């Protein structure tokens, strides 16, 4: 039984390509504790996104194991069936990507409600209430009835964060969240993440190519050629 929230044990991932096998991750061992804001920094192609896809079971691993102990239940992520995995992921993991992927024809509020309705996690009347709470959490409730086109990129990313929090997952997995934002806006998005870690007890694993962000994490690791290189505490 693992005491860490997330534990990767000797995780390797090899892709078969036309040009031969490509090893994206090599024997990765990593423990992530609850309440950490962990940054994984690496260049394009270093294995960052593959690593994230291992954590949430989106992609299969070639060898090793990923154990997640959240919501009072410890699971070996890659031993679950597709259905079990989907339901587990819905309860435990929120995802945020560089492109916000808001539906442009829906208001901000509807953008948050829609996936909640689809997962049937909340009663329709409750889901609207919950969505408004989440918009408040990311300080954008004044714009609830606007379409995404009418707010800034930074505000759109806040909505995407609110949407990821819809089912109140303990873990947030974040891929280059500020990649398409200017530096001032990026700072504000980091403030939101810090608030979620410090005040809401969330655990965040974020990958980025921007080594300048390392100081914002509670711990940062470097990944290169599929291997974790160094470990330093901020």
In the complex, least distance from residue 215 CB atom to another protein, rounded to whole angstroms: 28
Inter-residue contact 10 to 65 (CB < 8 Å): yes
Q: What character string, x for contact with another protein (CB under 8 A) and - otherwise, covers 30-49?
A: -------------------x
Specify the stretch interacting with another protein by CB under 8 A; choose among 5-13, 87-95, 123-131, 221-229: 87-95
Does 176 bind another protein (CB under 8 A)? Our answer is no
Under the criterion CB under 8 A, does residue 89 sit at the interface with another protein? yes
Q: Where are the beta strands (DSSP E) in 18-130?
A: 20-32, 37-41, 63-70, 73-76, 93-96
**Binding flag, residue 229, another protein (CB under 8 A):** no
Q: Sheet of 20-32: strands edge to edge?
A: 20-32, 6-17, 63-70, 73-76
Q: Does the footprint of another protein cover residue 53 (CB under 8 A)?
A: yes
Q: Smallest gap, in angstroms, from Cβ of residue 1 to another protein?
A: 28
Q: Is 191 helix (H, G, I), strand (E, B) or coil?
A: helix
29 forms part of the interface with another protein (CB under 8 A): no
The Cα 16–Cα 29 span in angstroms is 23
Residue indicated by tokens 């991932």: 13
Q: Nearest to residue 97, comparing CAs of 175, 204, 210, 38? A: 175
For another protein, the binding residues in 98-117 under the rule CB under 8 A are 99, 101-107, 110, 114-115, 117
Does position 202 bind another protein by CB under 8 A? no
Distance CA 212, CA 121 (A): 38
Is 59 a residue that touches another protein (CB under 8 A)?
A: yes
Q: Which stretch binds another protein (CB under 8 A): 10-18, 36-44, 146-154, 188-196?
A: 146-154
For residue 41, give the nearest of 156, 197, 192, 213 by alpha carbon. Answer: 213
Q: Does 87 bind another protein (CB under 8 A)?
A: no
Instruction: Please return the burial class of 173, using the count of CB atoms within 10 Å of its CB with bins 0-12, 13-18 and 19+.
Output: buried
Which residue of 1, 18, 19, 118 would you call a contact of another protein, by CB under 8 A? 118
Shorter beta-carbon distance to another protein: residue 155 or 220:
155
Q: Would you tell me which residues interact with another protein (CB under 8 A)?
A: 49, 53, 58-59, 82, 86, 89-90, 94-95, 97, 99, 101-107, 110, 114-115, 117-118, 145, 147, 149-150, 164
């Amino acid at each position: 039984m693992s005491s860490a929230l997330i534990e990767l044990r000797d995780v390797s991932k090899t892709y078969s390509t036309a040009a031969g096998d490509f090893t994206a991750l090599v024997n990765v061992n990593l423990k992530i504790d609850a309440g950490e804001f962990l940054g994984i920094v690496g260049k394009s192609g270093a294995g960052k996104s593959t690593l994230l896809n291992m954590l949430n079971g989106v992609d299969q691993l070639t060898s090793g194991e990923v154990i997640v102990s959240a919501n009072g239940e410890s699971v070996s992520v890659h031993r679950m069936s597709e259905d079990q995995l989907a339901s587990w992921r819905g309860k435990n993991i929120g995802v945020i990507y560089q492109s916000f992927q808001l539906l442009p024809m829906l208001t901000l509020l509807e953008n948050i409600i829609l996936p909640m309705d689809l997962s049937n996690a909340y009663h329709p009347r409750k889901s609207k209430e919950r969505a408004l709470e989440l918009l408040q959490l990311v300080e954008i409730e004044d714009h609830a009835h606007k379409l995404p086109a009418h707010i800034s990129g930074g505000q759109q990313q806040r909505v995407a964060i609110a949407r990821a929090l819809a089912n109140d997952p303990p873990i947030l997995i974040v891929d280059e969240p500020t990649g398409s934002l200017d530096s001032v806006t990026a700072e504000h998005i980091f403030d939101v993440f810090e608030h979620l870690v410090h005040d809401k007890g969330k655990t965040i694993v974020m990958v980025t190519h921007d080594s300048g962000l390392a100081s914002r994490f509670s711990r940062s690791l470097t990944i290169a050629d599929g291997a974790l290189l160094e470990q330093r505490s901020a």
